[in-house]
Amino acid sequence: MKSCESASLIAPKLPIVGVAAWSTEASVQTHFRRFAIPDVSSSNVHHFTGTGWQHDFRLFLDAIGDAAAENVYGIVCHEDADLHPWMSAPIQQIRERIEGEWFPQLLDDRGIVSHFQAIYDFKQSDVIGFEALARGRSGEEIFDGGRMMRAARAYGKTREFDAAARIAAIKGAGELFDDEDLLFVNLIPGGVTNPSRDFAFTWEAIRAAGIDPSRVVFEFVESESLPPIKDLKRIVEHLRSHGAQIALDDFGAGHSSVRIMEALRPDIVKFDRHLACSGLSISKQKLIREMVNYVHSLGCKTVAEGVETVEQMAFVHACGFQMAQGYLIGFPCPKASRPVVPLHIG
């Protein structure tokens, strides 16, 4: 018998064979009738199952649009799994779970690895470190960090994904880095509830890799919802007590950037690529320079992200950035790759 299980925190490994969905909205019911099979017991419930159900499910979601989808809920159906109809989830979360069906196995197989992207220091005219960017490897397929993050959210595995990515970054760096290189490691602070417990394996991995904790820079990823300031300070205090540095990522992308920066006083602030490297006008240069100077006045170093052209490199240097990161300097790759020719900007 085929039955359904919700998008709960427990991620079953049985294959997905369909979706049961329901809504009381009349407009949604119309599209249900076009793409799904009606339930025998309830007129509000419809089933996507049988050959080609994934295609029909995608067509249904495209037809109703994002606004109407907010009023639709569902359950993922697995072969021979128990039925738990009270544990439903929003239909968009169901969609992300289906699209990320590969994720639980990837996590169990420890298929998360790191690719490293160089960070260039203008004063030293050299690469001074690398950011570890999570990648998922399953056979010949590679999943980028954004895709894995969406799948982790859908499966309620954000904390596990974040921890696995940190460990992969540290192990990879221990094998590839020079003794003086900085290692920038992304951190989702919303997944940290008990720093001493949640970072225990991280510190163990750092010791095993022979990395000086002062060379590790934990990047607080600001594109994710951040916990309250008091919780962020508790995380910062724990990391600094072990000698690590702190960076605020995606500065200028939102989430009360200035307030958080002033409260945490990170060692490094990485400016969002759209803020630093788009619209290279004189007026924007003046604005960015004022922002950079303010960050420097708080004792923080600055990195411009998203530098892809020589013109952008010259622009961010003129704005006063101390460091830069982007495709011009180096693409993310499995080995820590340095520019063949030093990038001198005068």
Domains of the chain: 2-97 (no CATH), 105-325 (3.20.20.450)
As a whole number of angstroms, the distance between CA 52 and CA 66 comes to 22
Burial 72-102 (b: 16+ CB within 10 A, else e): bbbbbbbeebebeeeebbebebbbbbbebbb
As a whole number of angstroms, the distance between CA 93 and CA 140 comes to 27
Nearest to 304 by CA among 281, 328, 283, 286: 328
As a whole number of angstroms, the distance between CA 135 and CA 4 comes to 31
Task: State the pLDDT at residue 223.
Answer: 54
Tell me the H-state helices in 278-324: 282-297, 310-318
Q: Tell me: the pLDDT tens digits for 58-96?
A: 999 999 999 999 999 999 888 776 656 666 889 999 999
As a whole number of angstroms, the distance between CA 14 and CA 141 comes to 21
Report residue 242: phi and psi, to 5°. -95, 0
SS3 141: strand
Tell me the H-state helices in 155-228: 158-176, 195-198, 200-209
Examine the pLDDT at 121 and tell me if it is beyond 90: yes
Q: Which helix (H) or strand (E) holds 77?
A: strand 73-79
Q: Kindly report which listed range (52-66, 110-124, 167-181) carries the lowest average pLDDT score.
A: 167-181
Q: Kindly report which listed range (28-42, 101-115, 120-134, 276-290) carries the lowest average pLDDT score.
A: 276-290
Task: State the pLDDT at residue 257.
Answer: 78
Average pLDDT for residues 160-173, to the nearest whole number? 95
As a whole number of angstroms, the distance between CA 224 and CA 23 comes to 29
Number of C-beta neighbours around residue 329 at 10 A: 20
As a whole number of angstroms, the distance between CA 217 and CA 82 comes to 45
Q: Tell me: the pLDDT tens digits for 190-245?
A: 889 999 999 999 999 999 999 999 999 999 986 556 789 999 999 999 999 999 99
In this predicted model, which residue has the larger pLDDT, 243 or 345?
243
Examine the pLDDT at 176 and tell me if it is beyond 90: no
- What is the percent of the chain with per-residue pLDDT over 90, rounded to a whole number? 68
Report residue 170: phi and psi, to 5°. -70, -45
User: Token match 């920066």: residue?
Assistant: 261
Examine the pLDDT at 275 and tell me if it is beyond 90: no
Q: Which residues have CB under 8 Å from 20's CB, separation 6+?
A: 4, 39, 45, 46, 47, 48, 74, 75, 77, 85
